[in-house]
Every structure is written in structure tokens, then in C-alpha cells.
A and B are shown apart, each in its own frame.
Chain A
Amino acid sequence: MATATPKSPSKSGVKQIALIGNPNTGKTSLFNCLTGMRQRVGNYPGVTVEKKLGTVHLPMGQATLIDLPGAYSLSASSLDERVAVDVLSGHLPGMERPDAVVCVVDATNLKRNLFLALQIAELGIPMVIALNLWDSLEARGQTIDVEELEKRLGVPIVSTVGRKGIGVAELREAIGRAFFQERCMAPIKWPEEVNVAVKDIQFATEGHTTFPLTELEIRRMLFDASSAVMNRVESGQDSVRAAISSGREKLRKLGYNPMAAEAVICYKHLDKILDGVIGQAGEEKERKSESIDRLLLHRGWGLVAFASLMYLVFQSVYTWAGPLMDVIDAGKSWVQGIVGGWLSAYPMLQSLVADGVIEGVGAFVIFLPQILILFFFISLLEDTGYMARAAFLMDRLFGWCGLNGKSFVPMLSSYACAIPGILATRTIEDPKARLVTILVAPLMSCSARLPVYVLLIGAFVEPVYGPFIAGLVLFVMHLLGLALAVPAAWILTKFVVKTKPQPFLIEMPPYRVPRLADVLYRMWQAGREFVERAGTIILAITVIVWAMLYFPRPDALAEDVARNFVSQQIAANPDSVEEIEALLADPESDISIELGHAIDSAYINQSIMARVGKAIQPVFALAGFDWKITVGVVASFPAREVIISTLGIIYSLGGDVDEESPDLKSTLANAKWQEGERAGQSIFTLPVALAIMVFFALCQQCGATVAVIAKELSWRWAAGSFFSMTLLAWVGAVMVYQIGTAIGL
């Protein structure tokens, strides 16, 4: 490659360009403009920080653009900032130190944005500054003397409007210039004491780290109260700490508070740099945002606007996704029918492909409409700047139990479905609040629980207590999860999750018009990531459950059931033997269908799943469940909504029943204990029905949720969440049944 390559040539030959900037600077818009669809999204090794890479064409050839998480500084106190420091220093496994940095700067807030650029300048990497949101600057009647600023900072500066793609070509060209001419930003002239302190610390760390620490990292250790860079020091920590404190002592002697020294020195430096560069301050745009805020943050109107917006978001996920989900469901059945037809000669293969594989693919594709619609709204809320306001309005409500204002949208979405809800927690910057929000989100009563409530309330509550109480019970079921989520969040924050919470410090950016392309990119990424990460796991779970319900499958069982069935039919109508035989020969006849249901029921009742259910039934007996309910509950662990069809199969009604089915309701109402002390009594008493509902309300019977938690956090958290929710559900069901029975419901 080129001979003019700066200090650290990438081994792969492909140049690495890092894109960094404060949040709300339109960095993502610029990234999308530069890379187009050539983007890859993943996680940095070992942490849940999103890693976004893209391919970009530059004067020096094709390069990889690394979109670093938005950060206000490199203090390395948050996970995002730590990753940024590691990437810029070239200390992440599998990632080279970048060959150049593009610093995206909000042209309307130069000083604060250049603070970050100054910190990066310590690395001595070629840099380009993109003065983004240039149109907002012009709308305010302000100007920036770009030429003069370029002279003072020593790096190429390009004015851009990422939202409209303006200045992108110039930006590409400028990156090439910075790279070939090795244009690095002139670092601050630090007081001599700081330079001495940096040398001392560098000396103390020598030989104690895997990689030699960069000057940037050394400064982080000196200036930041609890820098994550300290973790890079593997031995000799005491002498490093001593060097740091003696360095801080030097700062104190100079009259600086060591923790503020960097900010004070940098901002003073920036005052000098920016002196005379920014022209004529008007306040046009600010006033517009300010008057919108006066309305949207008003104690009355602001809350009304918030409630209406959230209602719109919720309706869109809860209701409008419905038709799309129906289309996917119908498509799945259609494919199952066609493929099932091809394989009808091989019943086991047919069932594996149709009920296992195709069902499993359908099981994750079905979530896409909700995810895409929710992320459409989330990117609108974020790109307009309203998300920060929503968090501001709601923070008091959530803050005290360890969540924060940004937990609202994920929790609300989880009432439709926990999958998009959990994905939406990515908008929460504080990792601790995000973790706790993810863990309590599955307690919200999602739409898949509704059929269970409708069936049981319709069969056991409404006929006895009337529609008013029925509606009340339905409402209470929806509140139950939320009521438990609040103390659960408090306990998790206080006792379980040990990481330090981040202060709730968020910028409320000026209101801006979002760019449609960015919104579409965001939807596309959310959907693609979900399918790539969770899809295979959900598919695997579905196939495993299919196998547990399908096997063992002795042919003799079907023959036995058929023989008994026919002899019963003949015994009931001894005169019409020929008629019965004719009907049985016709697969569409009522008798044939009934026989089919009886065979399905016999198979499922001796399947591996049923054996597991029967084995653990004693545990559920405390909640009043018989073995059939227990098998239904166990079979619903991968996806709670299958309980209805599973009960249908178990009770020989076939799998096509739904929650409104009168047959299913009356069958449940008439089910009696066959043996034991309660023989002859009804199985489904009101306490049993309530206990089942409570169990479904609190249990994490959703393989997709487990898969998504595992991918967003870790398998350990996923397992912890699964088992604790199962335990909670069991305790709740037992309590409801025992108390309900005791008070004679």
C-alpha cells in the first residue's frame, strides 16, 4: 500500500476510520450517508455496547468506518466511553488502532463538542472535523470562520448537513487529505507539571500492561476519579496509584482541583481557539425549541401530549401490527399446507418440517411487525429530540426504584410484547437501569396472555359474577405484573445488580426534523439484528418442543384407540354398523375427525412432555392443577399462547379451538377429578381458574424472550430471569388457590 502510511498500518491493509462525536450531533445520519447499506452491526467482545461498522469509499481506497458510541468525553466512566477509549487506543482484541478519526461536531455548540476532539488529539491520529448541523447554525443567523478555525486547529474541517447529505463528498476528500498529509490536531499545551505527571505515570505502568498505554489512556488515569483504564494495569498497581496521586498533588499545587483540572484547562484553551471564530449570535432557533418545550414540558399540557403520544405508540404495536401478523400467520399455514402435502408419505418428516421447522421460523418472523413498527416510533422520538423530554417527564415515577425516565417506552411496549420492549431498552444509556428494565419488562402482561384470561374468565368468572366483575378481573390481571415489577426493580437495584448507577444527566437537544432514511435504517437494523441473533435460538427451541410433544409415537397406540373408538360407536348404535364404517372411510366425516382428535389426545398424553408434566404434577397440585393442566402449562413454556390449542388436543377437541370456543369452555367446566379424595368434583373451580391466570401472568413462558435476554445481556441473566419468574408464578398461583379455597370462592 501507500508509503505515506502513518505510524500504525493496519495489518489487513484495509484502512480503519473511527467516527466519533457527542450524542445528538447527527453522527448516525453522516454514518448512513457515508456507508449506505454496507453496514454490519454487532457487539464489542464481552460488553453490550453496539458495534457498528460500514464500508466507505475514500481517496485512499475502500476503508472500514467504525461508528463509535456517542460520548461527551472520554472519561471512561461509562461503558460506551470505555469502549471508545479502547478502540481509539487500539486495545480491543481483533481491532486495529484506527488510521484516522472523523470527529462529528454540532456546529451550534462548538465549544462543548470540541472538548471531546481535544481529548482525542492526545492520540496523535490524523483527524477531520465535520461541522454538522450546519443548516441549524445558519438558521440561527450565526457563522463560523472555517478557514481560520482550520488554521488554529491544524486539521481539515468540513461543514456538513448529514440530514440532507450536504458536504459528504467534501468529507470523503478531507479524510483522504488528513490521512495522506498526517494532519493531526495540535494538542493542548499542558502546564509542565501535567507533562511530568504523565511521564511519571507512564513510567510506573511500564511492564505492567499487555499493551503499552497510550498518552490518552495515561491522561484518563490522571484526570478521572475512577478510570476504567486502571483495569489495564495488571500488576504493580500500588506504584501506579502513587504516581497518580503525586501527579494530582502537583495539580492541586497549581491551584486546580484535580478532578476539574482537565475541564478548566481545556475550556480555557477552547475560549482562546474560538475567539473571533464564531460570528453574530442570533437566538432564532433556540427560541423555537424553547417555546415548544414550554408546551411539551408543561405540567398539564405536557402530560396530555405525552399520554396521547404514548397511546399512539402503544396502539400501533398492540393493534396495528395485528393485520401484518395475521398475514404472516396465514403465510405460515399456507407453506405448512404445501410442504406438508409433499411429505405426506413420511408422517414423521412431515410433522418435523411443518410443526417443527416452519412453525419455528414463523415463531420469530411473527415478531417482526411489532419490532419494526415500534422502532419506527422510537427513531422518530429520538431523532426529533422528544425522547429526552419523555424521560424528563417520567423520571420521578421510575427513578426511585432504580429505573429511569427512559424505562417508560420499553415497559409500555412490553404490554404488547416483551420482545420489542426489551430491544427498546437500547435507548437507556445507564447500563444498570437498562439491565433492571430488561429484567422486569417480561412481567408486563403481553398480548399473548390475553387469550388465557379471556378463556378462563369467560368460562368461570363471567357466568357466575357477571360482566362487571369479569372486566375487573381482566384489569387486575393486567396490573398484577406491573405491581410486582416495581418492588422487583427496587430489590434488583438494591441487592442484586452490583454495578454503580449512572447519574441521570441527559441533554435535551433542540427539536429537529428527522430524516426518513435514518428512520428506515434503524427499523431495518432492529429487525435484522433480531432475526440474526434470536431467530436460530427460537427455531431450535420450537424444534425441541415439537420433539417432546411428538415422541414416543408407537403405531400400536393409534390402532388401540381406533379399535376402542369403533367398538364404542358400534355398541352405541348396534344397528348401523355399515353406516359407521362408511363414515370412518371418509376422512372429512364428523366421526373420522373425532377419531383423529382421540388419537392426537392419546399420543400427546404419553409424549415426553406429558410424562414430564405428570412427573411434576405434585408440585402444581398445591395450586390445584391436575395433570392435564400441568401438561398444558409445561407445554406452554416455549410460547404461552399454545396453552389453548394444547388443552384442545389434551381434551380430544383438536388443536383448532380458540379462547372463545364454547366446546372448550364447557369441556373445562365439566372436567372432574377421576380419582383421589376429590373424585367426582370439578377440577376447574374458581380458585383454580384464578391460579392458572396468575401463573400465566407472572411466568416467563416465552422462549423468544429468554433468547432475546440472553442475546442482550447474557445466558446467565436469561436463566436467572426465567427461573425466578417461574418461581414467582408458582408462589403466586399457590397463594391464590390456597387463599381462594380457604375463603370459599
Chain B
Amino acid sequence: MRLDEIKPGSHCRVTMVNFEQSIGQRLANFGLLPGQIVQLAQVAPLGDPIAISFAGQKISLRRREAATVEVEPLAV
């Protein structure tokens, strides 16, 4: 599953980040690394971008870029 596919409000764990794309390294600098637990906090009214919460911070990114992050959903 990809980060752009999880349900609003639900949690997931990062399994893989595509570091070959420049966005991957930027996300890594924020601490979005494999193993990190992430919540999809909000979806913008027009469907894109999305806001994710992790490690006490909230980051907004476009769906296209969120799609470079593989996750596994967590049942919370």
C-alpha cells in the first residue's frame, strides 16, 4: 500500500521510501524513514495535497509525492 492510499485518520507504518527521487531524501531529513509510524491527518478540500502527522510534526505533501512512500496499515 502507498501513503496516498490510506484512509484519513488512520495510522500506518512506513516500509519503504523511494530514495532515488529527491523527495525521498527530503522526507528522510524530516525523519520519515522505514519503521516510522504515520497518521494521515487531513486531505485538502480538493482532494490534494494531504497532511500527515508523525514524530510530533505535521507535513503537507502532494499525492504524487506521497505515492513514493510504501506503508503497511496499522489497526488502531
A-B contact count (CB 8 A): 117
- The distance in angstroms between the C-alpha atoms of A294 and B43, with both chains bound, is 11
Is the Cβ of A395 less than 8 Å from the Cβ of B49?
yes
- In angstroms, Cα B33 to Cα A264, docked, is 7
Can you report 20 A-B residue pairs in the complex whose CB atoms are below 8 A from each other? Answer: A73-B29, A75-B26, A75-B29, A77-B26, A109-B56, A111-B55, A225-B25, A259-B28, A260-B24, A293-B42, A297-B42, A298-B45, A392-B51, A392-B60, A393-B44, A396-B47, A503-B26, A505-B65, A507-B60, A509-B58
B27 touches A109 (CB 8 A): no
Closest A-B pairs by Cβ, 9 of them: A396-B46, A263-B28, A259-B19, A299-B45, A73-B29, A508-B58, A260-B19, A503-B23, A297-B42
Q: Quick check: is A397 within 8 A (CB to CB) of the other chain?
A: yes
Sort chain A's interface into a size bin. Answer: 35 or more
Contacting residues, chain A, for B23 (C-beta < 8 A): 503, 505
* Cβ–Cβ contact B49 & A293, under 8 A: no
Residues of chain A in range 48-75 having any CB-CB distance to chain B below 8 Å: 72-73, 75
A711 interface contact, C-beta 8 A: no
Interface residues of B (CB under 8 A from A): 17, 19-20, 22-31, 33, 41-42, 44-49, 51, 55-62, 65
Task: Give CA–CA (A109, B60) in the complex, Å.
Answer: 17
Which residues of A are interface residues toward B (Cβ below 8 A)? 72-73, 75, 77, 108-109, 111-112, 115, 224-226, 257, 259-260, 263-264, 267, 286, 290, 293-294, 297-299, 302-303, 388, 391-393, 395-397, 399, 405, 503-509
Instruction: Collect the chain B residues with CB atoms within 8 Å of residue A299's CB.
Output: 45
Known: A396-B46, A396-B49, A505-B65. A77 touches B22 (CB 8 A): yes
Chain A binding site: helix, strand, loop or mixed by DSSP? helix
Separation of A397 and B49 alpha carbons in the complex (Å): 11
A75-B25, A395-B49 given. 15 additional CB < 8 A pairs?
Answer: A73-B29, A111-B31, A115-B31, A224-B25, A226-B22, A299-B45, A388-B60, A391-B60, A396-B47, A396-B48, A396-B49, A397-B46, A503-B22, A507-B59, A509-B58
A508 contacts across to B, CB distance below 8 A? 51, 58-60
Contact B62 A395 (CB under 8 A): yes
Which residue among B31, B58, B61 has the maximum number of chain A CB atoms within 10 Å of its CB?
B58
A232 to B30, CA, bound (A): 27
Do A112 and B22 contact each other (CB < 8 Å), given the known contacts A260-B17, A263-B29, A297-B42? no
Q: Is the CB of A302 within 8 A of B45?
A: yes
Chain A residues, CB < 8 A from B59: 505-508
Q: CA–CA, A109 to B28, complex, Å?
A: 15
Assuming A393-B45, A396-B47, A396-B49, is B31 touching A505 (CB within 8 A)? no
